[in-house]
Structure 1
Amino acid sequence: MSIQDRLAYLLQQAVRQTATAAELQELSDLVQADQSGDTARLVEMLLRKDLPPGTAEYDEAYWDQVANNILAADRPEETTAGNVIPLPQRRRGWMAAAVITGAVLLSGGAYWLLQKPAPAPLATVTPAPAHDVAPGGNKAVLILADGTQVPLDSTANGVLAQQGNTKVSKPGAGQLTYTQQTAGSTALTQYNTLRTPRGGQFQVTLPDGTKVWLNAASTLKYPTAFTGANRLVELNGEAYFEVAANAGKPFRVNVLTHTGGSPDSMQVAVLGTHFNIMAYEDEQQVRTTLLEGAVRVNSHGSSKQLRPGQGASLDKQQRTLTLQDNTNTEEAVAWKNGFIQLEGNDITSAMRLIARWYDVEVVYKAPVAAHFRGIIPRNVPVSQVLKMMELTGEVHFEIKGKQLIVSP
């Protein structure tokens, strides 16, 4: 049995109030022995069942009582005559904190609340055991102006090409950098394309210093030097932008989509700001989320000015652009920080995220009504993600090669 399986069992025993004193002690020891904090975050995924009507999700008094109930569930050791062994005070502390700060909601979905998780390193990937699927990683293809394709995941670090007056280099794993060597050149503008496959991600620094993180199954087309009045790039898929400020040369993103099989587009105009754009072909909506600065989103004659914390959503079928206040920006960029964001997703939306990152095919045996909330690290094998989703009790998974079989 793996450590993850053992933890899942121990947590289940604790929440059901059927854990023995030895099992609770083992759970405590596992948490305190892990210096990375990963185990503690797993412990925060405690089950929450039958939430009383009107109870606030984060009612500290309520969850303190839940913690006490769990802690009171001590069972005698098998070798004793039935005497209950008191729980050490130190174990009460971490268990109470875990219950109060994080839980899994089983009333109609699942909720994984990881207490301010640290961003996962871009290149850190946990190998998958046999009969499992490994997570995605730093994979991309660079298409140069002459059509030459450079597989970046298998290319050594260093200078890759010279594109006009711009040097293209790979400084490290998962990174691509453009350095413009001669400003104000009248040379013909050249274009490069960075393309990530399913199960891939990559980061590129454009000639103006703008940084772009490209998610799986995405394409970014850009000039090798910004010589005109605007800095224009084209995106299909998902990307997070940190735009270098330049008031005299606005940065614009043309978001390429398809509506009913016909090409369509949306434009995001900025000066210097941080924002995320999600525009996958298999998603019904194109979403722009602003973290810092200001952007204007234009589509089909409609225009929306965004402030930090706001989002804009384009319905591709209705061709309507909607402004959303109080958008959860952490959810929008969870992928960039190393997590799979399931907040508010039904099973089909969640499985599209997983299919893109793990490069798998999803097959449904029957309709499934499960909904999910929360985040899961995306640097682990797919089986670990599916196990957490199965805690809802509403969905089950089977892995067959590169297929994920979904059933109620």
Structure 2
Amino acid sequence: MSTQNRLTYLLEQAMQRSATDTELQELITLIREDDNGNITRQVEAMLLQELPDTATAGYDMSYWDDIAGRILTADRPENEIAGQGNNSTEKTDQSPAVIRLNPWRRLRWISAAAAVLVLSLGSYWFLRPAVRKSTTVATAPASNDVTPGGNKAMLVLADGTEVPLDSAASGTLTQQGNTSVVQPAGGQLLYTQQTGGPENVDMVQYNTLRTPRGGQFQVTLPDGTNVWLNAASSLKYPVAFKGASREVELTGEAYFEVAHNRAMPFKVMVRTGQHDSMEVAVLGTQFNIMAYADETLVKTTLLEGAVKVSNSGISKQLAPGQGAYLDRQRHTLALLQQVDTEEAVAWKNGFIQLDGNDITSIMRIIARWYDVDVIYTAPVPAHFRGIIPRNVPVSRVLKMMEMTGEVHFEIKGKQIIVSP
């Protein structure tokens, strides 16, 4: 059987969800080892012919254009990618792997990219654009499986009262001074300052929002700043910002969209050791901070605006697309001129990013989101590529990793056993 016929057969089997594990592995290997891009182009053409046209309204097409282009052109020579002007409606000064498509072909291209990415799961529909809208609706797991995390947190009020939060509740939770605390919808918390009422200017009240392993939550602070809190994280903040600056304290990971107020700079304090901390000073900007205690590096990634990261008298000024990495052990702060911003915020967009992470880093991410413990039977020198939606049972995540790296997983209750 020729390579073309074999490719056609394997792809048809995968799209019909009737391919065996061996056939799926063969197809992935063909795509992965496609040095000259011939097989990838054949896969694109075949998928685009098979997938039905679907309306594109309501989807964030710029996001999915980028994902699709990166998946389907990651292994092609740059001159080959640049020469695909027939399908492109505009040029971009970003990575050459980003391709813009005519609007009527976008969703089909996106679906093709999704299919290539998750063929090892035998179900390309997991990465349809609708999935990106929520990370709380999960596919029902098997009996020996673990469901993904969702919107849940604990709000600790100024007097120590603890208020459990989840996706179901909505309405006003409490009134603290001139600030109302409201849960407008599942997974969100909103602080609103009222004017004209009595106020004790000498007293500052603090709240703390904590997410457990397997939890996430979003909060809008009193100044309008939006914060997305990842699993196993906490954010301490005043119920009303006063004084010369707006200061919050973070453990774990969070994505910030800071409301602009030049007269009152926004600062994030991150504890990096018993007697050490890092400060991220910003104006109006968008950035991600990853500062888990079990990670060697504290990472600040800037998407928009400007921030200054400081530690032990050393400061680094960041421009969009740059990052600052603080080594907890060596106590060194380094500036990275170019970082993968998509990787830094993959969790917020509902994905687990495999590229750029080793097995232990990926498993720490999985442990936090699925609230599981990871046990290694031996070192695993596996390498992985791609992104996986994090709203599926953990077995599906592990299955894809098994198909793209030399690793084996076994689920035992709330434990994942990892072996070569």
User: Shift of the alpha carbon at 1:117?
Assistant: 7.4
Partner of 2:81 in structure 1?
none
Per the normalisation by structure 2, the TM-score is 0.75
Partner of 2:369 in structure 1?
357
Q: 2:49 aligns with which of 81, 90, 95?
A: 90
Q: Which amino acid aligns with 1:246?
A: N
Report the 3-state secondary structure (helix = DSSP H, G, I; strand = E; otherwise coil) of the residue aligned with 1:318: coil
Residues 123 and 173 in structure 1, CA contact (< 8 A), matched pair in contact too: no
**Whole-angstrom CA distance in 2 between matches of 1:392 and 1:19:** 18
Report the 3-state secondary structure (helix = DSSP H, G, I; strand = E; otherwise coil) of the residue aligned with 1:213: strand
User: Shift of the alpha carbon at 1:391?
Assistant: 1.1
**Whole-angstrom CA distance in 2 between matches of 1:352 and 1:122:** 18
Q: Percent identity?
A: 60
After superposition, residues 23-62 of structure 1 pair within 5 angstroms as: 24-25=11-12, 27-28=14-15, 46-48=28-30, 51=33, 55=35, 62=36
After superposition, residues 73-222 of structure 1 pair within 5 angstroms as: 90-91=49-50, 101-102=71-72, 118=129, 119-153=132-166, 156-182=169-195, 185-187=199-201, 188-222=203-237
Partner of 1:63 in structure 2?
37
Partner of 1:242 in structure 2?
257
Q: C-alpha offsets along residues 193-252 of structure 1, whole Å, 9 cap, x if unaligned?
A: 000000000000000000000000000000000011100000000000000000100000
Query: Does residue 273 of the first structure (1) align with residue 285 of the second (2)?
Result: yes
Partner of 2:242 in structure 1?
227
Distance 1:209 1:122, change over 3 A: farther
User: Shift of the alpha carbon at 1:64?
Assistant: 2.3
Residues 354 and 386 in structure 2, CA contact (< 8 A), matched pair in contact too: yes
Distance 1:346 1:251, change over 3 A: same
Q: 2:383 aligns with which of 371, 374, 380?
A: 371
Distance 1:91 1:305, change over 3 A: same
Q: 2:329 aligns with which of 285, 294, 317?
A: 317
Partner of 2:347 in structure 1?
335
Q: Which amino acid aligns with 1:64?
A: N
- Consecutive unaligned residues in structure 1, runs of 5 or more: 1-12, 32-41, 56-61, 72-86, 106-111
Q: Which amino acid aligns with 1:232?
A: E
Q: C-alpha offsets along residues 120-139 of structure 1, whole Å, 9 cap, x if unaligned?
A: 42433333221100000001
**Whole-angstrom CA distance in 2 between matches of 1:329 and 1:363:** 30
Distance 1:100 1:345, change over 3 A: closer
Distance 1:341 1:230, change over 3 A: same
Partner of 1:387 in structure 2?
399
**Whole-angstrom CA distance in 2 between matches of 1:206 and 1:344:** 32
Residues 167 and 186 in structure 2, CA contact (< 8 A), matched pair in contact too: no
Q: C-alpha offsets along residues 146-197 of structure 1, whole Å, 9 cap, x if unaligned?
A: 0000110177210001111100010010000000113794441100000000
**Whole-angstrom CA distance in 2 between matches of 1:323 and 1:48:** 38
**Whole-angstrom CA distance in 2 between matches of 1:117 and 1:331:** 19
**Whole-angstrom CA distance in 2 between matches of 1:174 and 1:208:** 19
Q: Which amino acid aligns with 2:206?
A: Y
Q: Which amino acid aligns with 1:90?
A: Q
Q: RMSD value over aligned CA atoms?
A: 3.5
Residues 316 and 324 in structure 2, CA contact (< 8 A), matched pair in contact too: yes
Query: Which is helix-richer, 1 or 2?
Result: 2
User: Shift of the alpha carbon at 1:103?
Assistant: 8.6
Residues 132 and 399 in structure 1, CA contact (< 8 A), matched pair in contact too: yes
Query: Does residue 282 of the first structure (1) align with residue 304 of the second (2)?
Result: no
**Whole-angstrom CA distance in 2 between matches of 1:17 and 1:198:** 47
Max Rg structure = 1
Query: Does residue 398 of the first structure (1) align with residue 413 of the second (2)?
Result: no
Q: Which amino acid aligns with 1:275?
A: F
**Whole-angstrom CA distance in 1 between matches of 2:285 and 2:292:** 22
Q: Report how many aligned residue pairs link the two structures.
A: 349
**Whole-angstrom CA distance in 1 between matches of 2:385 and 2:151:** 27
Distance 1:19 1:291, change over 3 A: closer
Partner of 1:59 in structure 2?
none
User: Shift of the alpha carbon at 1:326?
Assistant: 1.6
- Consecutive unaligned residues in structure 2, runs of 5 or more: 19-23, 54-67, 76-115, 119-123
**Whole-angstrom CA distance in 2 between matches of 1:122 and 1:92:** 25
**Whole-angstrom CA distance in 1 between matches of 2:268 and 2:29:** 43
Q: Which amino acid aligns with 2:37?
A: W
Report the 3-state secondary structure (helix = DSSP H, G, I; strand = E; otherwise coil) of the residue aligned with 1:386: helix
Distance 1:50 1:20, change over 3 A: closer
**Whole-angstrom CA distance in 1 between matches of 2:278 and 2:70:** 43
Residues 31 and 40 in structure 2, CA contact (< 8 A), matched pair in contact too: no
**Whole-angstrom CA distance in 1 between matches of 2:238 and 2:153:** 18
Q: C-alpha offsets along residues 290-318 of structure 1, whole Å, 9 cap, x if unaligned?
A: 00100000001110000000000000011
Residues 48 and 104 in structure 1, CA contact (< 8 A), matched pair in contact too: no
Report the 3-state secondary structure (helix = DSSP H, G, I; strand = E; otherwise coil) of the residue aligned with 1:355: helix
Residues 385 and 404 in structure 2, CA contact (< 8 A), matched pair in contact too: no
Per the normalisation by structure 1, the TM-score is 0.77
Distance 1:65 1:197, change over 3 A: closer
Residues 213 and 240 in structure 1, CA contact (< 8 A), matched pair in contact too: yes
